[in-house]
Structure 1
Amino acid sequence: MDNITALGGDVYEIDTRMAGYAGITAGYLILGDRPCLVETGTSTSAPVVRDALASLGVGPEDLATVVVTHIHLDHAGGVGDIARFFPSAQVVVHEKGARHLADPSRLMASARMVWGDRLDTLFGELSPTEAERIVALGDTGAIDLGNGRTLSSHYSPGHAKHHVGLVDSATGDLYVGDAAGVYLPETGDLRPATPPPDFDLQTALDSIALFKALGPQRLLFSHYGPVDAVQDTLDRSAEELCVWVDLTRQAHSEGLDLDHAIAMVRDRTKERYTAMKADDATAEQFELLSGAPSNVAGILHWLDRVSP
């Protein structure tokens, strides 16, 4: 299948084809004794992911674990569907996200407030997962991949209060979710992801520092793909966060409303990213993943809390 890439170490990147796009959201299959899917993608992507797993030899009874870095719908929207397709799999999530996977009604209501009618085309509907199948992680935890191989979980809020990073003991891969931002492999651009309501600058920087301290061999971005230049990329993640926060803080101190703040920050950051100067499709892809409206709104929400 053209949406599967072997990354070595029995790890396979699966393009979940979010909303029909290529290269937007990745799921990863760790194909050991106890096969594990990291990130499901959206609900509408679930059949794509199921078919990819089938082509890699993972049938309905074979998947042992589904892990999500956090419960935003581009990462975990497919959990309920994947759980139904793979009835033996446990679903692993940070304890702050567990109840929303069991009962998604509040999460879906708030997502619909943000996205409106676009919700259905972009994400679809997160279906509930039976509570007894959900394993809730504390600040650290370990997932058994079989044969002594583990995926260790490290609480990394800042982007979202239910976010974890995951380290594979066999490969040294670190699944960064959105805590290190959004990476666009075609252009090498990296941009922060700072949506409301959970964004907090110091917490986000602390999470990036934790990722550096873990000493991973490679970063696996949910958006999108593997990056070998670990320390440089994490340094850049922190730098990008500070650039966006400084500009938004300036707009905030000038009393700009949300729309004007977004316009100012978008204008002053666009030179940083090749994607924003590229063709419209690439720019649109980047904006969908790490949109200025969402980023600026999240930073303003935080600023209103810390310096009203």
Structure 2
Amino acid sequence: MDNITALGGDVYEIDTKMAGFSGITAGYLILSDRPCLVETGTSTSAPVVRDAIASLGVGPDDLATVVVTHIHLDHAGGVGDIARFFPSAQVVVHEKGARHLAEPSRLMASARMVWGDRLDTLFGELSPTEAERIVALGDTGAVDLGNGRTLASHYSPGHAKHHVGLVDSATGDLYVGDAAGVYLPETGDLRPATPPPDFDLKTALDSIALFEALEPQRLLFSHYGPVQAVKETLERSAEELRVWVDLTRQARSEGMDLDHAVAMVRERTKERYSAMTADEATAEQFELLSGAPSNVAGILHWLDRVSP
């Protein structure tokens, strides 16, 4: 299949084809003794992910674990569907997100308020997962991949209060979710992901520092793909956060409303990202991955909380 890339160490990147786009959201299949899927993508992507897993030789009863870095719908929206397709798999998530996978109505209502009718096209509907199949992680934990191999979980809020990073003991891969921002492999651009309501600058920077301290061999971005330059990339992640916060703080101090703040931050940052000056399709892809309105709104929400 053309949406599967072998990354070595029995790890396979699966392009979930979110909303029909390529290179937006990745899932990762670890073909260990106990096969594990990291990130499901959206509900509408679930059949694509199922078919990719099947093409790699994993049958309906063979998938042992599904792990999500957090419960935002581009990462976990397909959990209920994948759980139905693979009825023997446990679903692993941080404890602050577990109840929403079992009973997603509140999460879906909140998402619909943000996305409106676009929700159905972009994400679809998160189906509930039986509570007895959900394993809730604390601030640290481990997923058994079989034969002594584990996926160690590290609580990493800042982007979301239910976010974890995951380290593969065999490869040294760190699954960063959205805590290190979003990466566009076509251009090498990296931009923060700071949506409301959970963004917090100190916590986000602490999570990046934690990732550095873990000394991973490689970063695997959900948006999007593998990055070998670990130290440089995490330093850039922290720098980008500070740039966006400083600009948004300036816009707020000048009394700008959200629309004007977004326009100002977008204009002041566009030269940092070659994607924004590339072709229109690449710019649209980057904006979908890390939208300026969502980022600025999240930072403003945080500023209102810490500096009312």
Scaled to the shorter chain, the TM-score interval is: over 0.9
Distance 1:59 1:294 in 2: 38
What's the TM-score, normalizing by structure 2? 1.00
Which residue number corresponds to residue 212 of structure 1? 212
1:285 Cα deviation from its structure 2 partner: 0.6
- How big is each residue's C-alpha offset from its partner over 1:152-197, in whole Å with a ceiling of 9 and x where there is no partner? 0000000000000000000000000000000000000000000000
1:212-237 CA distances to partner (integer Å, 9 max, x unpaired)? Answer: 00000000000000000000000000
Deviations 1:222-270 (A, max 9, x none): 0000000000000000000000000000001111111110000001000
Please name the residue that 1:112 is paired with: 112
1:225 is aligned to: 225
The alpha carbon displacement at 1:117 in A equals 0.4
Matched with 2:154 is 154
Q: Please state how far the C-alpha of 1:125 moved relative to its aligned partner.
A: 0.2
Work out the CA distance in 2 between the residues paired with 1:54 and 1:77: 20
| Counterpart Cα distance in 2 of 1:271 and 1:112 | 33
Distance 1:83 1:9 in 2: 25
Per the TM alignment, residue 69 of structure 1 is displaced from its structure 2 partner at its CA by: 0.1
The TM-score normalised by the length of structure 1 is: 1.00
Distance in 2 of aligned mates of 1:59 and 1:121: 28
**Per-residue CA distance 1:34-85 (angstroms, 9 max, x = gap):** 0000000000000000000000000100000000000000000000000000
Q: What per-residue deviation string (whole Å, max 9, x for no partner) do you get for residues 261-285 of structure 1? A: 0000001000100000011111001
1:7 and 1:285 map into 2 onto residues whose CA distance is 23
Alpha-carbon distance between aligned partners in 1 of 2:69 and 2:251, rounded to the nearest angstrom: 31
Shift of 1:147: 0.4
C-alpha distance in 1 between matches for 2:253 and 2:136: 40
Q: Percent identity?
A: 92
Shift of 1:105: 0.3
- Aligned-residue offset at 1:104: 0.4
> For residues 269 and 83 of structure 2, what CA distance do their matches in structure 1 show?
40
* Structure 2 Cα separation of the partners of residues 64 and 123 of structure 1: 25
1:111-260 matched pairs, under 5 angstroms? 111-260=111-260
Q: Which runs of 5+ in 2 are unaligned?
A: none
Aligned to 2:51: 51
- Other structure's SS at 2:84 match: helix
Residues 100-144 of structure 1, C-alpha deviation per residue, up to 9 Å, x if partnerless? Answer: 000000100010000000000000000000000000000000000
C-alpha separation between the residues in 1 aligned to 2:43 and 2:253?
Answer: 40
Question: Number of residues paired by the alignment?
Answer: 308
| Cα shift at 1:14 | 0.1
**Aligned to 1:304, what secondary structure does the other structure show?**
helix
1:197 counterpart SS class:
coil
Question: How far apart are the structure 1 equivalents of 2:204 and 2:41?
Answer: 23
Unaligned runs of 5+ in 1: none
| Structure-2 separation of matches of 1:105 and 1:275 | 36
Whole-angstrom CA distance in 2 between matches of 1:110 and 1:259: 21
Give, in whole Å, the separation in 2 of the partners of 1:223 and 1:289. Answer: 7
Instruction: Give the distance between the partners of 1:131 and 1:65, measured in 2 at CA.
Output: 15
Please list every run of at least 4 consecutive aligned residues from structure 1 whose deviation after the TM superposition is greater than 6 angstroms: none
Q: Distance in 1 between matches of 2:250 and 2:265?
A: 9
Q: Distance in 1 between matches of 2:286 and 2:89?
A: 32
- The separation in 1 between residues aligned to 2:162 and 2:26, in whole angstroms, is 19
CA distance in 1, matches of 2:96, 2:32: 28
Distance in 1 between residues matched to 2:119 and 2:14, nearest whole Å: 22
* 1:44-83 alignment, distance < 5 Å: 44-83=44-83
Shift of residue 4 of structure 1? 0.1
Root-mean-square deviation (CA, aligned residues, Å) is 0.3
| Cα displacement (A) at 1:296 | 0.0
CA deviation vs aligned residue, 1:78-100 (integer Å, no higher than 9, x gap): 00000000000000000000000
